[in-house]
Structure 1
Amino acid sequence: MRTHGWSGAAPADDAEAVDRIVAAARRAIDRSGDEFSIAEFSIAEVARDLGVTRQTVYRYFPSAEALLTATAIAQTEHYLDAMAAALSGIHDPATAVVEGLAYTLERLPEEKYLGLLLRPGRASALSAGVTSDTALAFGRSLLERLAVDWDAAGISGADLDELVEHMLRIVQSFVIDPGRPPRRGKEIRSYLSRWVAPALGSF
């Protein structure tokens, strides 16, 4: 690891360097408030914040998109924890999936970093498709936080991966076209309960 720059306080190792770069990216996003524009995000701004060259940032993140994605994933941990707390009393797989999808779709407009990850754009985990490694990892993280014993329900391995893919495809569809008017509250839950939940009853 090269130690040039860093405003005179070089990171101890690569892991710390990555953490500091992601933190600087978060600060850049947060400074823009609700008016954040992905198009305006730049490696140069992050490098200036850290007192390093752009080449130093690129050594750890090959593009602005990669840095945005890493930052968004790091900041969605609190969302996933909040969702798990909200759904902590649900143990039935079908009910948990319905509520998990509804909760995510309802929170999406209010969660800046979740929006970066799930809305179409440079940082989106779905930009490479719902089967991208980043998208699938996010979906698995969501399911693993639910109070459901997936193994006991007979959903594990490839079946759990396919469930993650199916949920991401549903989210992607609602993000692209939320409906006219968009379904919310009881309406979105009724829709998901009717058309998504029955698939989980076959396990």
Structure 2
Amino acid sequence: MARRHGWSGNTPASDEEAISRILDAADEIVGERGSAMRIADVARSLGVTRQTVYRYFPGTEALLLATAMRSGDGFLEQLASHVGGETGAVTAVVEGLAFAIENLSKDDRITFMLSTRGEMAPSLTADTALSFSRSMLHRYDVDWDANGFDEDALSELAEFLLRILYSFLVDSNQAPRSGPNLRTFLARWVGPAVVYPKFAEAMKAVDNAAAPRRSARRSAS
């Protein structure tokens, strides 16, 4: 539940609403001033203290990243629509990650932050960024339970995908992977991570099935 402090007398009903209102305010300020936005500016526009904003975003870089991800271009909506209807876990994850790599690399704000702000890396996997990544995975038409993912495993997958995304965005390779080449590369190396929970479950079942026979042979001897 959002803390009941400030908010110009209109306290958010939940943390999700608080994050949304912070991002709305940040979007407006970025539209006016660009990346010169400060946490203090956002706090002032919302009628809260800077500490309230810091509770959700550890720094300006994290807030700028969040506004870029939820920008007027509707990137998160575009991503959800792009993978909509795909029920295969590997295909959905690979295509979603490829789409993010290809599109965010063209976002001027993302490019600016990665090229000029040294604190960007830790902010990428801050709680709010991880929250965005998890929420996107939940919006995929994939039965994560059937694929062996509980919430903890899904959170780890969200972090793993964010770290891969960051590595692609920060790399200044003159010949970046794209199109089928990018998707083949991601399927080969990210795909096994997506199928790992089911693979591990299958291997455990094999071990459990073999254990009684090994025990029986030892007893017979």
TM norm. shorter chain > 0.5: yes
After TM superposition, give the deviation of residue 69 of structure 1 in Å. 3.6
CA distance in 2, matches of 1:90, 1:153: 14
Do the aligned partners of 1:25 and 1:67 also contact (CA within 8 Å) in 2?
A: no
Which amino acid in structure 2 is aligned with residue 163 of structure 1? L
Contact 1:28 1:46 in 2 (8 A): yes
| Matching residue of 1:85 | 81
59 and 170 in structure 1: CA distance in 2 versus 1, 3 angstrom threshold: closer
Q: 72, 76, 92: which one pairs with 2:69?
A: 76
Q: Specify the alignment match of 1:7 in structure 2.
A: none
- 1:5-45 CA-to-partner distances (Å, cap 9, x unmatched) read xxxxx8332339x666643432221124xxx33xx323565
Q: Does residue 103 in structure 1 map to residue 93 in structure 2?
A: no
TM-score (norm 2): 0.65
Separation in structure 2 between the aligned mates of residue 100 and residue 192 of structure 1, nearest angstrom: 11
Alignment partners' CA distance in 2, 1:2 and 1:160: 33
The letter of the residue matching 2:122 is S
Structure 1 residues without counterparts, runs of 5 or longer: 4-9
- Contact 2:94/2:186 (CA < 8 Å) preserved in 1? yes
Q: Structure 1: how far apart are the matches of 2:39 and 2:147? A: 45
Residue in structure 2 matching 1:58, options 50, 64, 72: 50
| 1:127-142 matches, cutoff 5 A | 127-128=122-123, 130=125, 132-142=126-136
Counting matched residue pairs gives 184
1:90-140: per-residue Cα shift (whole Å, max 9, x none)?
111111111111011111034467x38x8474885x42463x322321221
Contact 1:25 1:68 in 2 (8 A): no
Percent of residue pairs bearing the same amino acid type: 32
Superposed displacement of residue 189, structure 1 = 0.8
Superposed CA RMSD in Å reads 3.7
Question: What is the TM-score with the length of structure 1 in the denominator?
Answer: 0.69
Larger Rg, first or second structure (1 or 2): 2
Match of 1:195 among 177, 189, 194: 189
Unaligned runs of 5+ in 2: 199-221
